[in-house]
Amino acid sequence: MSQGKTSYAASGVDISRQDEALRRIKPHVKATKTPGVRSDIGLFGGLFAAQFPEQKPILVSSMDGVGTKMKVARKAGIWDTVGQDLVNHCLNDILVQGARPLFFLDYIAAEKLEPEVIEQIVKGMATACQQSGCALIGGELAEMPGVYAAGEVDVAGTIVGLVDEADLLPRLPEMQAGDVLIGLPSSGLHTNGYSLARKVCFELEKLDVNDQLPGTSKTVSEALLAIHRSYLTQLMPLVKAHQLLAMAHITGGGLTDNIPRVLPETLDAVIDTQSWQIPALFTYLMEKGGLGIDDARQALNLGVGMVLVASKEQAPAVLAGLKAAGEAAWVLGELAAGSGHVQYK
């Protein structure tokens, strides 16, 4: 018997869709070009000039994704916000070590590449990169039927930034009991807790993305797709002025697991639970999902997107500077003798 012939497209991978997606995203990528970029999209690797003004430059890198928030984007048909989420999440992760962003690389994979969807995702990435002075220097598009279910899209990103050794955070030897914890608000779930949110909203409560989320003035899609905000503009001046001892980005693990990542083993973070009101989105998910407060503090940001540590002497100036920048910061608590954990009071 003779073997039948087939084609790559017949096997489920259509190169023409990738080519069309690349054509669509090129202008968005080009718009993020910074002086350090030495290559255009399409090469095997992105080029960036390693010439920095810092006296003792240290490269800082991080990688992350946006998890099942992608499934909410599919339901709502809104894709550019998850692109911004991805970049801003990574930006914040290197910011807490005092780093400014240099360049970003993305990975987008799907059961079937949809050029118009890919364009919107990359457009969102480009928007966040432009806002932060970060170059979108390269990436990868992968069409993988059999690996991803029909209609599924996944994104991940890698960021590389730079910090002068003199600005590096956290400053563990300088931290002591009495140092002040300062909270900065989140814009929503950011990129964590979406398995819970989807179960509550779409399975238990049978809400549609266009329904109003109870207790809020927003639709379900507006609440769940609120962009994971970047704190770069507000906080980099404080880093350069050496007004901070540490920062913690509150992502998966919540306050309970993320603050200890920047504490010495001899100090605890004592959180004043009366210092802020947990936003309605979180209380709704907790109530309808049967989530206790201890679990919620470990799974969700509960309205606190970033935590700063400042000395008692510097804290008033930090708060004043943030207020002048339009940031609604507040005293979240303080450090006390302990063993590197979080206490709630």
Least confident of 47-51, 215-219, 279-283, 336-340: 47-51
Number of neighbouring beta carbons within 10 Å of residue 179: 21
Beta bridge partners, 101, equal 161
Instruction: Identify which has the larger pLDDT, 312 or 7.
Output: 312
Cα 71–Cα 76–Cα 80 angle in degrees, nearest 5: 85
Q: Look at residue 211 and tell me if it is in a domain.
A: yes
Same domain for 216 and 121 = no
Same domain for 340 and 287 = yes
**Domain closes at, from 165, 184, 219:** 165
List the CATH number of the domain containing 140: 3.30.1330.10
Same domain for 241 and 119 = no
Cα 47–Cα 52–Cα 58 angle in degrees, nearest 5: 90
Least confident of 49-53, 98-102, 254-258, 293-297: 49-53
The strand pair at 246-249 and 304-310 is best described as antiparallel
Mark residue 121 as left, alpha or beta (left: phi above 0; alpha: psi -120 to 50; beta: remaining).
alpha
Same domain for 161 and 176 = no
Residue-level pLDDT at 13:
64
For 198-224, how does the pLDDT look when each residue is reduced to its tens digit (9 = 90+)? 999 999 999 999 999 999 999 999 999
Least confident of 23-27, 263-267, 337-341: 23-27
Q: Look at residue 329 and tell me if it is in a domain.
A: yes
pLDDT band at 173 (very low <50, low <70, confident <90, very high): very high
In this predicted structure, the answer to whether residue 97 has a pLDDT above a threshold of 60 is yes
Same domain for 143 and 203 = no
**Domain closes at, from 165, 186, 218:** 165
Average pLDDT on 249-259 reads 96
43: nearest Cα among 157, 144, 140, 143: 140
Residue-level pLDDT at 23:
78
Residue-level pLDDT at 98:
98
Residue-level pLDDT at 39:
86
- Is the four-CA dihedral 136, 139, 142, 148 of positive or negative sign? negative
Q: How far is it, in rounded angstroms, from Cα 114 to Cα 150?
A: 12
- Under 8 Å between Cβ of 163 and 244: no
**Hey, what amino acid is at 306?**
M
Residue-level pLDDT at 227:
97
Q: Look at residue 3 and tell me if it is in a domain.
A: no
Instruction: Identify which has the larger pLDDT, 80 or 23.
Output: 80
Same domain for 192 and 246 = yes
Beta bridge partners, 270, equal 334, 343
Supply the angle between the helices 232-240 and 80-95 in degrees, to the nearest 10: 10
Q: Look at residue 7 and tell me if it is in a domain.
A: no
Same domain for 260 and 185 = yes
Residue-level pLDDT at 1:
40
Q: Look at residue 288 and tell me if it is in a domain.
A: yes
310: nearest Cα among 191, 210, 175, 169: 175
Beta bridge partners, 248, equal 307
Same domain for 280 and 152 = no
Same domain for 84 and 127 = yes
Same domain for 195 and 152 = no
For 317-338, how does the pLDDT look when each residue is reduced to its tens digit (9 = 90+)? 999 999 998 999 999 999 999 9
Domain count, the chain: 2
Q: Look at residue 80 and tell me if it is in a domain.
A: yes
In this predicted structure, the answer to whether residue 313 has a pLDDT above a threshold of 60 is yes
In this predicted structure, the answer to whether residue 12 has a pLDDT above a threshold of 80 is no
Q: The domain containing residue 69 runs over which residues?
A: 15-40+54-165
**Domain closes at, from 145, 165, 185:** 165
Q: Look at residue 2 and tell me if it is in a domain.
A: no
Q: How far is it, in rounded angstroms, from Cα 136 to Cα 127?
A: 10
Q: Name, in order, each residue with C-beta under 8 angstroms of 24's C-beta and a sequence gap of 6 or more.
A: 115, 116, 118, 119, 122
- Does the pTM surpass 0.95? The reply is no
List the CATH number of the domain containing 256: 3.90.650.10
pLDDT band at 25 (very low <50, low <70, confident <90, very high): confident
- Under 8 Å between Cβ of 259 and 314: no
Place of tokens 């109003």: 212
Average pLDDT on 269-274 reads 98
Residue-level pLDDT at 292:
95
Q: What is the mean pLDDT of the chain?
A: 93
pLDDT band at 9 (very low <50, low <70, confident <90, very high): low
Number of neighbouring beta carbons within 10 Å of residue 9: 11
Q: How far is it, in rounded angstroms, from Cα 319 to Cα 310?
A: 10
Residue-level pLDDT at 19:
80
**Hey, what amino acid is at 17?**
R
Average pLDDT on 281-294 reads 96
Both structure tokens of 51: 């010439």
Average pLDDT on 221-238 reads 97
Same domain for 206 and 96 = no
Residue-level pLDDT at 2:
44
In this predicted structure, the answer to whether residue 43 has a pLDDT above a threshold of 80 is no
Q: Look at residue 322 and tell me if it is in a domain.
A: yes
Same domain for 191 and 124 = no
- Under 8 Å between Cβ of 69 and 82: yes
Average pLDDT on 48-64 reads 94
35: nearest Cα among 55, 50, 45, 56: 50
In this predicted structure, the answer to whether residue 295 has a pLDDT above a threshold of 50 is yes
